[in-house]
């Protein structure tokens, strides 16, 4: 074999190696992009870090669903609300007015819980720090999407991973929670509100039973003090993530058991104040006098208010 032939063989062999290494590099970068990883001469596997964040998202999302359900669809319970040593629940109906949350409020409440509590699971990646990683992340911004029996979470944020001279960025995360019937709970709660607005002075137990059977849910209603009913909607034999995480949806309804002409036993300052204002308007119209409320005079007419 002459010298020219040897040189040609070496050139061809070199081209084959070059193309092969180029292909491997291209496929490696394509795989990283699909995984949401930005590679700068990466020499370590970042998938455990991404998996760790996704597991924290799933855990925190399950906790958020349980928390929001226990508080009638809110992260922070709004007025009017039932608040005492036993409960902190929103009134979905108060004096025949609908105060139930919208689906947007429910989803935003879950997202708010995620944004505040996700870091407590991640713990600043301290376990990875012990392995020589330096990890920083931006504040996470969550978006929640509730379906009938599931929930999806898009988490926007960048995690920067550094080890030695290598830096990686992992961007944006997603998680889906199955067996999470919060959307079904919400729809059923709206049906209950509809029933009660149509007949605010009574509860249709057969309607609740049929509604539960239709949706494969348990609906319990209990009478509380001050003309308040507490409704609890729960799934049958369904847990989120683990058997310990049972979800439900609990809220209160104020029914019209009292009137301003019949206040016996009533200790609700909000309702009493409405009665006082109505009585004041009545007195003012009769006397054509605009003056401060005379509480002693109202007391003589059977109107009292307790602090």
Among the ranges given (10-19, 52-61, 69-78, 248-257), the one the predictor scored with the smallest mean pLDDT: 10-19
Q: What is the mean pLDDT of residues 61-82?
A: 94
Q: Exposed, middle or buried, 143 (CB in 10 Å: 0-12/13-18/19+)?
A: middle
Q: Are strands 88-94 and 246-254 parallel, antiparallel or unpaired?
A: parallel
Q: What is the mean pLDDT of residues 3-20?
A: 53
What DSSP element (H or E) covers 251? strand 246-254
- Name the average pLDDT for the chain: 79
Percent of residues, the chain, with pLDDT higher than 70: 66
Tell me the C-alpha distance between 278 and 271, whole Å.
11
- Which one-letter DSSP state was computed for residue 88? E
52-59: list long-range contacts, CB under 8 Å, 24+ apart: 52/122, 52/125, 52/128, 53/122, 53/159, 53/170, 53/173, 54/173, 54/175, 56/118, 56/121, 56/122, 57/114, 57/118, 57/153, 57/155, 57/173, 57/175, 58/175, 58/177, 58/241, 59/121, 59/241
User: pLDDT tens across 56-69, in order?
Assistant: 999 999 999 999 99
| pTM score above 0.85 | no
110-113: list long-range contacts, CB under 8 Å, 24+ apart: 110/61, 110/64, 110/65, 110/68, 110/75, 110/142, 110/144, 110/146, 110/151, 111/142, 111/143, 111/144, 112/75, 113/60, 113/63, 113/64, 113/67, 113/68, 113/75
User: pLDDT tens across 238-261, in order?
Assistant: 666 555 567 899 999 987 654 555
User: pLDDT tens across 279-301, in order?
Assistant: 666 666 554 444 555 556 555 55
User: pLDDT tens across 162-192, in order?
Assistant: 988 889 899 889 999 988 899 999 999 999 9
Residue with tokens 């996470």: 140
Tell me the C-alpha distance between 52 and 49, whole Å.
5
Tell me the C-alpha distance between 16 and 52, whole Å.
39
């Amino acid at each position: 074999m002459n010298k020219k032939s040897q040189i040609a063989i070496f050139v061809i062999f070199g081209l084959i190696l070059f193309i092969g290494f180029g292909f491997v590099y291209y496929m490696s970068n394509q795989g990283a992009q699909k995984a949401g990883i930005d590679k700068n001469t990466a020499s370590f596997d970042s998938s455990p870090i991404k998996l760790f964040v996704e597991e924290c998202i799933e855990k925190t999302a399950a906790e958020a669903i349980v928390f929001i359900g226990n508080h009638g669809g809110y992260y922070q319970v709004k007025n009017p609300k039932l608040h005492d040593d036993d409960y902190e629940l929103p009134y979905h109906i108060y004096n025949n007015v609908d105060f139930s949350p919208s689906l947007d409020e429910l989803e935003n409440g879950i997202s708010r819980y995620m944004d505040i509590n996700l870091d407590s699971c991640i713990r600043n990646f301290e376990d990875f720090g012990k392995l020589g990683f330096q990890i920083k992340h931006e504040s996470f911004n969550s978006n929640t999407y509730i379906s009938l029996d599931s929930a999806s979470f898009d988490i926007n944020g960048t995690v920067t991973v550094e080890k030695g001279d290598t830096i990686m960025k992992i961007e944006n995360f997603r998680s889906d929670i199955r067996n999470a019937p919060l959307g079904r709970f919400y729809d059923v709660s709206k049906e209950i509100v509809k029933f009660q607005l149509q007949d605010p002075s009574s509860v249709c137990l057969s309607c609740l039973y049929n509604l539960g059977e239709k949706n494969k849910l348990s609906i319990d209603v209990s009478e509380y003090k001050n003309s308040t009913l507490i409704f609890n909607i729960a799934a049958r034999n369904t847990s989120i993530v683990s058997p310990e995480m049972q979800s439900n949806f609990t809220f209160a309804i104020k029914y019209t058991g009292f009137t301003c002409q019949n206040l016996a036993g009533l200790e609700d300052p909000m309702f009493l104040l409405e009665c006082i204002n109505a009585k004041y308007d009545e007195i003012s119209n009769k006397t054509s006098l605009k003056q401060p409320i005379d509480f002693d005079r109202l007391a003589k007419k059977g109107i009292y208010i307790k602090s």
